[in-house]
Amino acid sequence: MKDNEVKDLVIKYLSSRPKNTAEIMTWLRERNSQKSGIEIAMMLESDPQVVRIGTVRKGGIIDSETPLSEWATHKWVEDNRRIKNK
């Protein structure tokens, strides 16, 4: 599977709700992609449609170098933004 195809699949996967790096990696492996956590993070960081909305852990689940981040599309964030009270 080409990188652009993987990126498009992940963006569609994220459109319903945010997912963390481990969830994305597991989901991709079910589709025969062997992307590592760091490859996924680099791919998502470089895409303007995607935003890191938090870090779940500093490491340990994937490896000690890669944070377990929570990812969402900018569209999901905008659609689910809480209205601030004045």
The residue assigned the tokens 């989901």 is 27
Please give the Cα distance from 55 to 68 (Å, whole number): 6
Q: Which pLDDT value is given to residue 86?
A: 46
The residue count for the chain: 86
pLDDT tens digit sequence for 63-73? 555 668 899 99
pLDDT tens digit string along 26-39?
Answer: 999 999 888 888 88
Please identify every stretch of the chain with a pLDDT value under 70, giving residue numbers as ranges.
56-67, 83-86
pTM to 2 decimal places: 0.79
pLDDT at 2: 85
What is the CB neighbour count within 10 angstroms for residue 14?
A: 22
Sign of CA dihedral 37, 42, 43, 47: positive
The H or E element that residue 70 is part of is: strand 68-73
Amino acid type, 77: V
